[in-house]
Structure 1
Amino acid sequence: MKTVDLMRVVDAVEELLDLATDDGVLLRLPNGKVFLLRSVAEDDDEHDDFADEIARTRQNSMLMELLEVRSQEQARIPAEEARRRLGLDT
């Protein structure tokens, strides 16, 4: 994670920071990228931690690409065949 010290804050950025202090803000760009803007000074409950983790996971382009490819797979292996391949037959 990078830290950027803002010496000057324009009004639009200040408004976003105010929103982020209360609830956090998801910034969605026209190209589909999503960013989470949130104050780290507040100590929130687990639900918000989960939402943060989801937002960070969505930004992991390699994982999203893998999940997209996996979701398109049509072949399925029956449990018995998987056990046989793994040498788990009893």
Structure 2
Amino acid sequence: MKTITLSEELAEILSVFEQANNENMIIQFADGRQFMLSAIDDFDMEIAQTCRNQKLMELLDQRARQAQTISLDEVKC
């Protein structure tokens, strides 16, 4: 994920970001391309970064496919 910093000279763009602070927005260009603009918090960033961790995602996929499970009674012993 790339992060860029905007200067205050871009008033129109900053206005759009301010609107996106209240609700998700779709920005559409004349050629039909669309982009979603959404405010995020630290937890949203953490989720996005975690999902990009290929090794962790592979481990979770592997564990999800495991047929053998441990019952709660076995864990309590």
TM-score by length of 2: 0.47
TM-score by length of 1: 0.41
